[in-house]
Structure 1
Amino acid sequence: MSTPPPPQGQNPFAQGQPQAPYPPQQGAMPYAPVPEQPRRKITFKLVKNVVIVLAVAGAAIGGYIASRDDANTAAVGDCMHRGSGNDSNPDLEVVECSSSNAQYIVLAKVEGTFTSLTADSKCEEKAKDFQYSYTETGDGSNFLLCLKDYSK
């Protein structure tokens, strides 16, 4: 036994419901007005987060600026200043040759890894009148600086 198809225009699942939509009411707005959104208050948490972000950004920028004068940025002819009396970490930084801090001048810069013995022999090869050799390894930049005292 089969069921007859529903009559055209009728929903077979809408039992007992009116078949036409309710007529629109006269004078009614199609939607309610949106109330004005309240302004956000500046909270302690927001201020704290902004201060943290600014502090981290300031530290990153300061670190970048401080590292620009490190020995790894030195080139032949640059003047250097020794920031530390520690021979194993002299903390060399690039300075203007007109500065009173200028102590050494770079005679040669050689990329690679060197021991103290190979550094001196490489500096003798590259710059006959060198007085000091400085090697740095790590951070992806291994190099040798051949230096001599700077006299103005």
Structure 2
Amino acid sequence: MVRDFYRQQSHATYSRDPEALCKQYASKAQVTQETRMSGRTTTLTMNGTQACERLREMFQFFELAGEKAGGMLTIEYTHELHEIEIAPDRKSARVVFSSVLKMGETFFQVSTNAHERLERSMRRVQLVQADAKVRVAWKPGALLDPEKYFRAQ
């Protein structure tokens, strides 16, 4: 079920479906995210609703960037489960996880390393706690001059 949770996450990411990703958050979810971008580090602690809103904003950004690039940007997403520790009652698991999301080859990249806790209830697995370190690399100039960065192959 843990591996299925992350497969569903991959599918929703490739489908650009933030609502499917939002359903993976438990109502009691707590997410701490340390993000490094453009030489600055920010730390946010969010509940599931707030984390979901951040996902929606990110996917809106993907749509805007895709439109500016003439619809040529694709998403590439990979993840790896480094450790899975199932609780003795088999109702929760601690997972050490990493992922890389790219939009365009060099335009936008999000690398994540996280320790997450998942819980199972009524045959449904949801994220209840995450401590994530995120690194964002992107080329903002690409939105100003898309033809310079995005060429049809």
| Class of the TM-score when normalised by the shorter of the 2 chains | under 0.3
Structure with the larger RCO, 1 or 2 (CA within 8 Å, 6+ apart): 2
TM-score by structure 1 length?
0.24
Q: Which has the higher helix share?
A: 2
